[in-house]
Amino acid sequence: MSKEKNVVTLTYGCQMSERDAETLTEITRQEGYNRTDDLEHADLIIVNTCCVRESAENKILGKIGDLKKLKEKNPNLKIAISGCMVQQPGALERLQKRAPHVDIWMGTHNLHEFSELLHRSDTGAKVAEVWQEPHETKESTPLAEKGKLQANVNIMYGCDNFCSYCIVPHVRGRERSRKPEDIIQEIKNLVASGCKEVTLLGQNVNSYGKDFDPPYDFADLLQEVDQIPELLRVRFITSHPKDLSDKLIQTIAKGSKLCEHFHLPLQSGSNSILACMNRQYTREYYLSIVEKIRELLPQATLTTDIIVGFPGETEEDFEQTLLMIGLGHYSQAFTFMYSKRSGTPAASMEEQIPLPVKKQRLQKLMSLQNEESYQLRQRMLGKCYEVLVEGPSKTNPDRLTGRTRGNILVVFDGPQEIIGSLVSLRILEAGSWTLVGELVE
């Protein structure tokens, strides 16, 4: 009888990276591995990496270095490194020299090969496969792990935008849309295994389908997904403002399962900084999109990404960003200090902002957004909202937790039997991040 094999998957980065890690874990399950979080007793450790910021990459490199001690204790342990960090031009050789204890290296374009790479490493040989260009999308790649209440589903790969601070187009390749029939079938399979909510993923979902003939766009796809029986909710991420169409807003307004939440990255409120970032829109255009959303979907929530301290950002530029917090009325903002990313135009720009200035600006931005988030949630007090019950709260296991259609977290008391169902909650308490509710009979 063969020994039971265990796999630990460590994931860094965005939802796309998380989705890739789920696929790799599913491949290992088909190879006889059981998923675990116990590094000490793992037979295989997969590290799916991110390289959006150098600070994140340094953290990952430190973790890979720590794994060497486990390899010394257990020479039979296999270590596999995948993802964006490996895919960077010229990175593989540098990484192999730095971490010779790693058995398998793989980029972002050949996840479907992981089973074969695992078998090739059985001989003890080091294996490295990093395709410089993506080949045709392999729909034979196993689905993400089944049996989950919520699941991420890729609808496209790559990015064509080339923002001056971003490495993603260089490590994920150019945009390629999956066929709608393959996406629909994947979602139907997930629903059949118990999934109630899907999040459709792409670096820029709004440009989905532009490589199709005859025309078929993201709004068309959402209309089809909205019709899938037993699926309760549909979310999506991320929307590039320059490609968010009136048709898409109208489609969400008409849909029954399409959640009224838009993650619409602003990045900066200054037109001069937006131009330096190569974002391809102005603050005025961005606000016109927000106005259209508010007009058709007054109940919609907006979240955003903002970078402070981009090269050349003046105090006036930063003030323009602060003004956008009050105009956008964001439920939440993911805020970052600009940090250099080798291989991007912004890394070599002049007028790099000193770290103390970036820290000061970030604190000011966060304080303003925290107050905005708090005020928004205060306005929800006493009102009733539909919530998908996700399970026990992470911070208070005696209570249940779920999210509104606008993606705002609510904790409440209720029986375990309602997990996975839609319920109505009245909001009793409101903080900056979390709501407390009660079930409405």
Q: What is the pLDDT of residues 322-337, one digit of tens each?
A: 999 999 999 999 999 9
Q: Please check if 14 is assigned to a binding site.
A: yes
The answer on pLDDT for 199 being more than 50 is yes
- Among the ranges given (163-172, 179-188, 198-207, 409-418), the one the predictor scored with the smallest mean pLDDT: 163-172
Domain regions of the chain by residue span: 5-129, 150-378, 384-439
Contact 55, 62 (CB under 8 A): no
Banded pLDDT at 1 (limits 50, 70, 90): very low
pLDDT, position 261: 98
pLDDT, position 135: 64
Contact 113, 129 (CB under 8 A): yes
The answer on pLDDT for 63 being more than 80 is yes
- Cβ neighbors of 371 (< 8 A, separation 6 or more) are none
Q: What is the mean pLDDT of the chain?
A: 91
Q: Residue range 338-346: average pLDDT? A: 89
The answer on pLDDT for 201 being more than 70 is yes
The answer on pLDDT for 142 being more than 60 is no
The answer on pLDDT for 53 being more than 90 is no
In one-letter notation, the amino acid at residue 129 is E
pLDDT, position 138: 57
Banded pLDDT at 85 (limits 50, 70, 90): confident
- Among the ranges given (98-112, 243-257, 285-299), the one the predictor scored with the smallest mean pLDDT: 98-112
Cis before 321? omega within 30: no
Q: Please check if 195 is assigned to a binding site.
A: no
pLDDT, position 136: 61
pLDDT, position 22: 86
Q: Residue range 41-53: average pLDDT? A: 87
pTM, 2 dp: 0.86
The answer on pLDDT for 145 being more than 70 is no
The answer regarding whether domain 384-439 maps to CATH 3.30.1910 reads no
The answer on pLDDT for 430 being more than 70 is yes
pLDDT, position 251: 98
229-281 residue pLDDT tens: 999 999 999 999 999 999 999 999 999 999 999 999 999 999 999 999 999 99
Q: Residue range 207-224: average pLDDT? A: 95
Beta bridge partners of 33: 5
Contact 399, 413 (CB under 8 A): yes
- Domain covering 150-378 in this structure, CATH number: 3.80.30.20
Q: Which CATH class is domain 5-129?
A: alpha beta
Rounded to 5 degrees, φ, ψ at 334 are -90, 110
The answer on pLDDT for 83 being more than 80 is yes
Of residues 132 and 292, which shows the higher confidence score? 292
Q: Please check if 51 is assigned to a binding site.
A: no
Of residues 221 and 144, which shows the higher confidence score? 221
DSSP letters, 225-271, are HTT-TT--EEEEE---GGG--HHHHHHHHH-SSB-SEEE---B-S-H
Q: Please check if 259 is assigned to a binding site.
A: no
Beta strands in 54-121 (DSSP E): 78-83, 104-106
In one-letter notation, the amino acid at residue 292 is K
Sheet holding 150-154, edge to edge: 150-154, 197-201, 233-237
Banded pLDDT at 14 (limits 50, 70, 90): confident
Banded pLDDT at 8 (limits 50, 70, 90): very high
Q: Residue range 306-322: average pLDDT? A: 98
The answer on pLDDT for 222 being more than 70 is yes
Per-residue exposure over 247-272, b if at least 16 CB sit within 10 Å of its own CB, e if not? ebbebbeebebbbbbbbbbbbbbbbe
